[in-house]
Amino acid sequence: MSGNRERPVVAVLYREELPPRLRDIERLAEVRPVTAENLAGALAGADVLYQWHSFAPALRDNWHAASSLQWIHVSAAGVDKLLFAELAHSDVVLTNSRGVLSRAIAEFALGFVLDIAKDAQGSFLLQQQQQWQHRVTRRIHGRRVLVVGTGSIGREIARLFRAVGMDVSGAGRTSRPGDADFTDIHSSADLAGVVGSFDFVVLAAPLTPDTRGMIGAEVFAAMKPSAHVINVGRGELIQTDALVHALTGGDIAGAALDVVHPEPLSLGHPLWSMRNVVLTPHMSGDTESYLDELAELFVHNLQRFVQGEPLVNIVDKSLGFVR
């Protein structure tokens, strides 16, 4: 794939701040920075849409203006909020930022595991109450983990967890024997049949029609009462009402959630005040350098586009993720 001119036209859709490395983009292309309300004008004659930290429905609303668009790049791994029917059925290539945030998200997931096993929340509460109360904690070495989602993020989680001595299996679209990162891989369609032997169930799957609501009452009921669910994927992977019921009814011991549904949680939602829940505001991949790293990936791909080389991170639009 290549641009249809020596200097392609790149519409940069942003919400509040323009992306880093804008000068690098300008060296390769004609750049049209634009916010959602003015997107139609910027799309006219544009070869590329660089969707920078904006998931407004602007592209769907202005799809009629994208007559010359060849390629869309999203500064995120998930494309569920962008992938509408007209785009999915078009010849426009869609790429994402797969891999850029994987290590940071894996570290965050491991932090959740350590928080739970070492009762960091309990220690903080006792500190606030000025109580010196000795307790014992749990080791994570040898604990069994099921990582739901065997893509870039799931594999990075598996490698990091295995490095600290955990036994890690995966769940993906199809079951298969073990590979380099997982002891074995189960079918996500059979989660209720396999979750019962795991201490932690970590969600790192993309949001697709097949994965939406995949963790519900049946899966929670099949988990060990001592098990925890960790979500660093998408909030809608979990049926929230079923999660609340499982936490209050003792089906599972607790949850650590970087993403929720709805997001953000409404004031007074029961998850806010549960002692066995850790909540963070969708920040697992956001390190000090992540914006520059996301922009660097786009510049690299734009160079390939200009030179007529294959793009990296091409999303299979029928699946909703990079194969």
Taking the model in full, what pTM does it have? 0.92
Active-site residue flag, 282: yes
Question: Domains, the chain, ranges and CATH?
Answer: 9-100+288-322 (3.40.50.720), 102-279 (3.40.50.720)
Digit-coded pLDDT (tens) for 94-124: 999 999 999 999 999 999 999 999 999 999 9
What is the reported pLDDT for 5?
53
Name the active-site residue from 26, 86, 218, 263. Answer: 263
Digit-coded pLDDT (tens) for 206-262: 999 999 999 999 999 999 999 999 999 999 999 999 999 999 999 999 999 999 999
Q: Is the pLDDT of residue 2 over 50?
A: no
Q: What is the mean pLDDT of residues 183-208?
A: 96
Name the active-site residue from 282, 293, 296, 304. Answer: 282
Name the active-site residue from 32, 143, 186, 234. Answer: 234
Digit-coded pLDDT (tens) for 136-153: 999 999 999 999 999 999
Digit-coded pLDDT (tens) for 3-21: 445 799 999 999 989 999 9
3-state secondary structure string across the chain: CCCCCCCCEEEEECCCCCCCCHHHHHHHCEEEEECHHHHHHHHCCCCEEEECCCCCCHHHHCHHHCCCCCEEEECCCCCCCCCCHHHHCCCCEEECCCCCCHHHHHHHHHHHHHHHHCCHHHHHHHHHCCCCCCCCCCCCCCCEEEEECCCHHHHHHHHHHHHCCCEEEEEECCCEECCCCCCEEEEHHHHHHHHHHCCEEEECCCCCCCCCCCECHHHHHHCCCCCEEEECCCHHHECHHHHHHHHHHCCCCEEEECCCCCCCCCCCCHHHHCCCEEECCCCCCCCCCHHHHHHHHHHHHHHHHHCCCCCCCEEECCCCEEC
What is the reported pLDDT for 4?
46
Active-site residue flag, 263: yes
Digit-coded pLDDT (tens) for 266-322: 999 999 999 999 999 999 999 999 999 999 999 999 999 999 999 999 999 988 888
